[in-house]
């Protein structure tokens, strides 16, 4: 399945989430940045509140695209310990990188939310949305963070992911909705006709 753009993917996910339409205890959270576009579309169609969850990838030394793990805005994180050991990544590097990414997450949240407070998650059914999953590290960090804040149910909703990443996430969440699990996965962008870089201004507009 190829999606026209993120809004198209969000609309298709909304079809699979119809059971939650107008439910007072459901909150849609988009992973910043790309997931926010899908979350906004799902929110519009199903008449549900939405916000964002900020996750930051912790990249490997000399290869920042290779995820050693990820952290959320609350500081909760997931780390691939076997990969960290295999690459010989130092504790100092990890600590410094985590602090850098926590500062960047805080900066972006201030920019995106402005004076808007973060939504209450306790007792909610939280639907975590992204434009696709590769390793699953950032979604895992979001799920762990959401669980620690007291969500009563965590649903992951994504258009595309490799089955191995879905298996990795499954024990940490209550439900996974994936429109298109594919084995020959190379990059999320290969499943979109238009996959533009989501800019900060677009997120601010969607939230406000």
Give percent of the chain above pLDDT 90.
Answer: 85
Q: How confident is the model at residue 19 (pLDDT cuts 50, 70, 90)?
A: very high
Domain boundaries, the chain: 6-56+113-207
Q: What is the rounded CA–CA span in Å between residue 168 and residue 67?
A: 15
Please give the class, per CATH, of domain 6-56+113-207: alpha beta
Tell me: pLDDT of 184 over 90. no
- The per-residue pLDDT for 114 is 85
């Amino acid at each position: 399945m190829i999606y026209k753009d993120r809004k198209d993917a969000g609309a298709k996910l909304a079809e699979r989430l119809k059971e939650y339409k107008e439910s007072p205890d459901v909150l849609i959270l988009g992973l910043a940045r790309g997931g926010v576009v899908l979350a906004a579309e799902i929110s519009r169609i199903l008449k549900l509140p939405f916000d964002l969850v900020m996750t930051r990838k912790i990249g490997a030394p000399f290869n920042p695209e290779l995820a050693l793990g990820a952290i959320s805005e609350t500081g909760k994180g997931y780390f691939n310990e076997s990969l960290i050991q295999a690459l010989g990544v130092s504790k100092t590097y990890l600590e410094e990188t985590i602090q850098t990414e926590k500062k960047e997450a805080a900066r972006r949240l201030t920019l995106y939310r402005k004076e808007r407070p973060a939504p209450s998650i306790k007792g909610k059914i939280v639907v975590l949305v992204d434009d696709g999953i590769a390793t699953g590290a950032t979604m895992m960090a979001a799920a762990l963070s959401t669980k620690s804040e007291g969500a009563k149910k965590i649903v992951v909703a994504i258009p595309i992911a490799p089955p191995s990443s879905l298996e990795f996430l499954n024990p940490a969440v209550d439900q996974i909705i994936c429109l298109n699990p594919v084995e020959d996965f190379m990059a999320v962008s290969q499943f979109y006709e238009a996959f533009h870089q989501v800019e900060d201004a677009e997120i601010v507009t969607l939230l406000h």
